Amino acid sequence: MSKIYLIYSTFSSEQEALLVARALVEKRLAACANVHAGITSVYHWENKLEEAPEVALTAKTTADKLKNAMDEVKRLHSYEVPCIIACPIEAGFPPYIQWIRDEVA
């Protein structure tokens, strides 16, 4: 069985995050995507300390779809160097984990 992954990315606007979320789910690259508005990110960029409002996206997918899903996030992303990371899900409610597998199959 294919391992389950959580993809995390941040965006400058809710509209952009929703565009990516919809694309991932419509293309069956993710079973579900959550958009979390109202976060603040603190980071260095071009030798300056930055603090900016952002919107986070989390999406659930399988190992089989992970590369294509991450490629789709990158394709639609407006940042020069976007945060696009994936973490394996080690455990979860079995019916939900199966639902993820079924949705991206």
- Alpha helix stretches (DSSP H) within 1-105: 14-26, 63-76, 94-104
pTM: 0.94
Statement: residue 89 has pLDDT above 90? yes
**DSSP H or E run through 9:** strand 4-11
2 or 56, greater pLDDT: 56
Tracing tokens 């992303």 back to the chain, one arrives at: 77
Strands 4-11, 48-62: pairing kind:
antiparallel
pLDDT tens, residue by residue, 41-70: 999 999 999 999 999 999 999 999 999 999
pLDDT of residue 82: 97
pLDDT of residue 1: 74
Query: Between 63-76 and 14-26, two packed helices, what is the crossing angle to 10 degrees?
Result: 140
pLDDT of residue 67: 98
